[in-house]
Amino acid sequence: MKQGKTNFAYETIKEKICSGQLKPLSDISEDALCEELGISRTPIREALQKLEKEKFIYIYPRKGMIVSGITIELIHYISEVRESIEPFVAKAVCGRLLEPWLLQMRSQFMAGPPMTSPEDRKVYYSNLDGELHHTVIHTHPNFFIHNIMNNILDHTRRIRNYTSTVNETYNVSISEHIGIIDAFLERDAEKVERLVRSHIVNARKNSILYLYGLESSDLERG
């Protein structure tokens, strides 16, 4: 029962961080989480300790806790792992992904959401992005890859939600995903590998440019 409460707290807090409800460097209150989730301090603390090990939060003994920052270093580290694993996995599973699912994903990327706000559109494509990459990873039978990439994909989602904007760059990302899906449909493993690697490199570049833009804005305001 206790483990169930810890897992519930862990998944709930992590979702708040990955979705952007808890923003980078924002304070985390154990008391507020206990009240919000309706559970005791022990499972909350265990969940937070696990999130610290996974680099989602910083815990400062006797001082407090904050959500970890999104830095250029973090983006590089995440991208290094993705570039090492995802193109290999995508190539390996080419031909194993179900065609109806691929066609549905392609249709959803092409159609976009109904008439909604820019933020809703961003969430829509972020969710599609996550589903595509997660499904590709978990189609591969190697559970060691699953364990590594689950954490990496969670950080990727958090970075994407923080640094992506609904603009021309985001539209390019949509086009890249459609290209990857088309390569899967063509069962062209070499093309899949190349496009996935290119997509990861572009995602890293765009995220870093976004952070540089924030830093430049701060300097101008200063």
Report which DSSP code applies to 110: H
Q: What is the pTM of this model?
A: 0.90
DSSP 129-145: HHHHHHHHHHHSS-HHH
CA dist 186 → 168, 190, 199 (Å)? 27, 11, 18
Q: What are the pLDDT digits (tens) for 25-53?
A: 999 999 999 999 999 999 999 999 999 99
Alpha-carbon gap, residue 191 to 41, rounded angstroms: 50
Q: For the chain, which domains are there?
A: 2-67 (1.10.10.10), 72-221 (1.20.120.530)
pLDDT at 222: 44
Please report the pLDDT score of residue 3 as a whole number: 72
Could you read off the pLDDT of 174-220 as tens digits, one per residue? 999 999 999 999 999 999 999 999 999 999 999 999 898 865 454 34
Q: How many CB atoms lie within 10 A of CB 219?
A: 8
User: Mind listing the pLDDT tens digit for each residue in 95-154?
Assistant: 999 999 999 999 999 998 887 788 888 888 989 999 999 999 999 999 999 999 999 999
pLDDT on residue 219: 37
Whether the predicted pLDDT of 171 surpasses 90: no
pLDDT at 157 over 50: yes
Q: How far apart are alpha carbons 8 and 43 in whole angstroms?
A: 9
Question: Does the pLDDT at position 221 exceed 80?
Answer: no
Task: Identify the band that residue 165 occupies on the pLDDT scale cut at 50, 70 and 90.
Answer: low
Q: Evaluate if residue 162 carries a pLDDT over 60.
A: yes
Cα–Cα distances in angstroms (integers) from residue 10 to residues 59, 122, 147, 187, in the given order: 15, 25, 16, 38
Is the dihedral angle over the CA atoms 211, 214, 220, 222 positive or is it negative? negative
| pLDDT category of residue 167 using cuts at 50, 70 and 90 | low
> What's the confidence (pLDDT) of residue 4?
92
How far is it, in rounded angstroms, from Cα 211 to Cα 72? 7
Residue 212: its pLDDT value, please? 84
pLDDT at position 169 is 58
Alpha-carbon 46 to chain mean position: 23
